[in-house]
Each structure stands twice: as structure tokens, then as C-alpha cells.
Amino acid sequence: MATINLDQLTKSYGPDEVLHHISGDINDSEFVVIVGPSGCGKSTLLRMIAGLETVTSGEISIGGKIVNEIEPADRDIAMVFQNYALYPHMSVRENMAYGLKIRKTPKDEITRRVNEAADILEIREYLDRKPRQLSGGQRQRVAMGRAIVRDPQVFLFDEPLSNLDAKLRVQMRLEIRKLQKRLGVTSIYVTHDQVEAMTLGDRLMVLNAGYVEQFDTPIELYERPASMFVAGFIGSPAMNFLTATGGDGLVILDNGTALPTRLSTSGPVIAGIRPEHLIAEPEGVLPVRVEMLEQLGANTLVHGVLDGSDIPIVASVTGIQSLPVNDVVRFTPGPDALHLFDANTERRLS
């Protein structure tokens, strides 16, 4: 088990810098999820930690030792790839034993560990099959098995669930979580799925275009997003953003509505309100002209615009609601529901 420290990590491909001064400390046994939109550099960062990509500048340490120049084989890590990367010509058993054989583990020890891992992952009956004779979910388990038999210091996952169907994904997500807690191995998990990130991670590193936007617990990301990007990325449906002008203990929206806040600000600000924090009230301060309803069963999404403007607003109300389209419904933000961001830097004002 080990800590991982990233210090001012930068990666360039030729003249293009794709990762900019990434820093962060990952604790022993912690499960950290790197999350961000496609192309933001998640895989690149993970592959640098694995040793599959060179480091342009900065330092990576695993267990307190700088590993920049150390081969992947000698970093004591295991990685689960998006396409599983199983060895197609080897049986499941051979796939799992491969790394142990190379490390000259005694034969009976290999057998014991492979069987143990197979039991944990419930793939005992497939041990003699070739990867092509397995379903996607079974292959995924084998890839996991290959990682856990090695008993490494660090697990690295690069979108291991993205090739599975939605139901299996939820199931495997829980299993990965349980397994990681049980084994206590420091893990880094890459995904672009924010639900996966929120449910799996002890902490989330939100990446955007090669920058770390925020590195914190899921609850903190949800309650106190550090930037408009994080606020918009975490939570579904995404947060509503309204341009406003700061004032003393209130902000004034462009349509003249004043919303109370504990902060005193001035100049142009962006007010963010999550859809689920908008409460429908007859005397609510936000008049919303309904354009469309999305019935999800447990709740209803109300899509509309702020009356008298074309600023889109989404509200999530519980239960099945049928509101007439084109009617005006009034909403009020719940207590502490208002997030304020600087209109220029897009960073949180707190």
C-alpha cells in the first residue's frame, strides 16, 4: 500500500501542452477518481502514473519514491484497461498467472492466489477458457483478477466499465468499490461518468482541458464547487447559471429579481442554482415560463425560460407533475442554494 504524490506534473506532445502543472497527494488506501470531459487528459495522466507515458516536467512519487524514470514493471502497480487488454492466446488462468510467473512466484503460490482471486470475482468456472469465449462482463472480471492476484501497491483503472451495459455497470461499480475497501489498495480510477465518479471516489480530481479544477470529496464538490466548470459538471441535470449583479447581502438578476445571499459582492457575478434546489411556490421570486416537461417517475424536470427573457432554467420537482406548457410557474431557491461565481474568472466567490 502506498501514497501517491503528483508535483507540478506537465505533459506536452511536441508543442502542445495537454496537462498543466497537476499537483495532488493521494493517501494510502484511498480511492481517487479522475473525472472530466473527453479529451481533458485523464488517460494521459493515468498512463504517466503507470509509466506508459513519459513525464515532460514535474515529479510522480509512489510510496515516497520518485518514479519518473522507473519502468512500469518496477512501479508495483496493476492496471485495468478500457478494452481489458487480456492476452488473447492464453486461458483465463494463464492470463492471471502471467505477472506472477514473471516475478518467479512459486508454482503452488500462483495456484493459490489465482484460485483465491477467481473465487472473489466468481470466475472459477471460466479459468480454462480463452478470453474470446467470455462475455464482456466476464472479461472485465478477468482483467480485475489479473490486477488483484499481483497484490500491487496501486490499482489504476482507465474507464474499465465503459464497455458494459448500464445494469452491469452499476453492479460492477459496487463490486469494485467493495473490493477496493476490502483489499485496501490505493486506487486511481478514470471515468467521464460523473455518477460513477461520485459513487466510487473517496475524493475526485476534476480535470478540465489539462487543468485540475478541484480535488475534493464528492460532497464538497457538490456543495461547494470551486468553479463554474465543476458546478456544471457535477450533478444532473446541470446547474442553472444566471447573470446577475452583486450587492450587499443580495444579488440582482438581470430581470430585476433580488435574491438574498450571505455574501456581499459587487459588479457582475454569475448566480448558480441546482435544479433540485428550486422550490415551486405561488409567491416564488423566479417566474419560469414552462416549455417542456420530462417525466422521470420519481421526479419531473421542468424546462423553461426565465419569464420575459430567453435564459434557460431547469427545475426538478418531486413526483409526477403535470404543468401546462407556456404557463408561468414561480420558483424560489432553497436556503443556501445560491452559488456565486466571478463573472470573469468563473471561480467561486466565498
Partner 1 sequence: MLKRVHFPTSVLPYLLVAPQILVTLIFFIWPASQAMYQSMRIEDAFGLSTEFVWFENFQILAEDKQYFETFWRTIIFSACVAFISMSVALFLAGFADRVVRGAMAYRTMLIWPYAVAPVLAGALWVFMFNPTLGIFPYLLEFVGYDWNHYLNGHQAMLLVILAAAWKQVAYNFLFYLAAMQSIPKSVIEASAIDGAGPVRRFRTIILPLVSPTTFFLLVINAVYAFFDTFGIIHAVTQGGPAGATTILVYKVYNDGFVGLDLGGSAAQSVILMILVISMTVIQFRYVEKKVDY
Ligand X SMILES: Nc1ncnc2c1ncn2[C@@H]1O[C@H](COP(=O)(O)OP(=O)(O)OP(=O)(O)O)[C@@H](O)[C@H]1O
Task: Give the total of residues touching ligand X (CB under 6 A).
Answer: 11
Would you count residue 78 as binding partner 1 (CB under 8 A)? yes
Among 23, 54, 83, 217, indicate the residue that binds partner 1 (CB under 8 A): 83
Q: List the x/- string, 9-28, binding to ligand X by CB under 6 A.
A: ----x----x----------
Q: How far is the CB of 118 from partner 1 (least distance, A)?
A: 17
Would you count residue 51 as binding ligand X (CB under 6 A)? no
Return the bridge partners of 206, or none.
Answer: 35, 214
Give the 3-state secondary structure percentages of the chain, helix then strand then coil, rounded to 5.
30, 35, 35
Residue identified by cell 480511492 is 31
Residue nearest to ligand X (CB): 43
Coil, strand, or helix at residue 72? helix
Helix locations, 202-316, DSSP H:
218-223, 228-233
Distance CA 134, CA 330 (A): 54
Would you count residue 75 as binding ligand X (CB under 6 A)? no
C-alpha cell at 268: 457582475
Burial-class residue 98 by CB neighbours within 10 Å (0-12, 13-18, 19+). Answer: middle
**Closest to 188 in 3D by CA, of 205, 164, 175:** 205
Scanning 72-80, 191-199, 233-241, 327-335 for contacts with partner 1 by CB under 8 A, the matching segment is: 72-80
User: What does 40 interact with, of Mg ion, ligand X, partner 1, none (CB < 5 to 8 A by kind)?
Assistant: ligand X
ω into residue 312 within 30 of 0, thus cis?
no
Would you count residue 85 as binding ligand X (CB under 6 A)? no
Return the bridge partners of 260, or none.
Answer: 250
Amino acid at 92: V
Q: How far is the CB of 150 from partner 1 (least distance, A)?
A: 7
Would you count residue 41 as binding ligand X (CB under 6 A)? yes
Residue identified by cell 421570486 is 285
Would you count residue 43 as binding Mg ion (CB under 5 A)? yes
Coil, strand, or helix at residue 226? coil
Judge contact between 34 and 190, C-beta under 8 A.
Answer: yes
**Closest to 154 in 3D by CA, of 33, 63, 36, 58:** 63
Q: How far is the CB of 99 from partner 1 (least distance, A)?
A: 4
User: What does 41 interact with, of partner 1, Mg ion, ligand X, none (CB < 5 to 8 A by kind)?
Assistant: ligand X
Of 70 and 293, the one with the shorter C-beta distance to partner 1 is: 70
Would you count residue 42 as binding ligand X (CB under 6 A)? yes
Q: List the x/- string, 168-197, binding to ligand X by CB under 6 A.
A: ------------------------x-----
Scanning 41-49, 67-75, 131-139, 328-336 for contacts with Mg ion by CB under 5 A, the matching segment is: 41-49
C-alpha cell at 62: 509512489
Residue identified by cell 435574491 is 259
Of 44 and 95, the one with the shorter C-beta distance to ligand X is: 44
C-alpha cell at 181: 475497501
Q: For binding to Mg ion (CB under 5 A), which residues are involved?
A: 43
Q: For binding to partner 1 (CB under 8 A), which residues are involved?
A: 50-52, 71-73, 77-79, 81-83, 85-89, 98-99, 102-103, 130, 146, 150
Q: For binding to ligand X (CB under 6 A), which residues are involved?
A: 13, 18, 36, 38-44, 192
